[in-house]
């Protein structure tokens, strides 16, 4: 996609957050190609978290890439950045062109099958700054992406992302 032909964003109705969903950010063919490339080229790690019963593996593989010095700590895990690789740089630039902001790092999550998952979290670690802007890109199978307000009870809003 050229820099001029930006995908169409859909503003999601959300309290205290601004979320724009781009359903067709990548074509199906691009999505499949990037998925294959990243599955094989990313330096995936099996991290563990400490729980009262002892360390348990995260139910997914993860990888942290970023500019030099972008150390990140989450869920008791501290990671040093891998150096950017070309497919990540290309995706980052395409996302930045649409989002209108720049990003210095990315946390990749690899859900190997339907048993892998990520828990509720807020992306509010100090490294991310005040009112951080994040971009989340899904490749592969269609999946649910859910949001819920931290301070208000009520059902989570669920958005189905068709990534292929
Ligand atoms: O897309 C995902 O599965 C995880 C995304 C995420 O952790 C986030 O957007 O903060």
Ligand 1 centroid from CA 136, angstroms: 6
Cβ < 6 Å from ligand 1: which residues?
109, 118, 123, 134, 136, 138
- pLDDT digits over 103-156, tens only? 999 999 999 999 999 998 988 888 888 889 999 999 998 888 888 888 777 666
Its pTM stands at 0.89
The residue extents of the domains of the chain are: 29-140
Which residue's CA is minimally distant from atom 1 of ligand 1? Answer: 136
Three-state SS letters, the chain: CCCCCCCCCEEECCCCCCEEECCCCCCHHHHHHHHHHHHHHCCCECCEEEECCEEEECCCEEEEEECCCCCEEECCEEECCECCCHHHHHHHHHHHHHHCCCCCEEEEEECCCCCCCCCCCCCCCHHHCCCCCCCCCCCCCCEEEEECCCCCCCCCEEEEECCC
Architecture of domain 29-140 in this structure: Sandwich (2.60)
């Amino acid at each position: 996609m050229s820099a001029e032909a930006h995908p169409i964003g859909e503003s999601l109705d959300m309290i205290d957050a601004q979320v724009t969903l781009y359903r067709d950010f990548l074509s199906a063919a691009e999505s499949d190609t990037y998925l294959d490339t990243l599955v094989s080229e990313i330096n995936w790690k099996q991290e563990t978290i400490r729980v009262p019963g002892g360390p348990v593996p995260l139910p997914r593989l993860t990888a942290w890439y970023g500019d030099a010095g972008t150390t990140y700590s989450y869920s008791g895990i501290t990671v040093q950045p891998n150096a950017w690789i070309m497919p990540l740089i290309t995706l980052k630039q395409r996302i930045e062109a649409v989002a209108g902001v720049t990003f210095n790092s990315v946390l990749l999550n690899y859900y190997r099958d339907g048993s892998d998952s990520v828990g509720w979290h807020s992306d509010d670690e100090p490294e991310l700054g005040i009112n951080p802007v994040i971009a989340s890109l899904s490749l592969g199978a269609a999946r649910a992406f859910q949001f819920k307000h931290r301070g208000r009870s009520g059902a989570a809003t669920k958005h189905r992302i068709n990534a292929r």
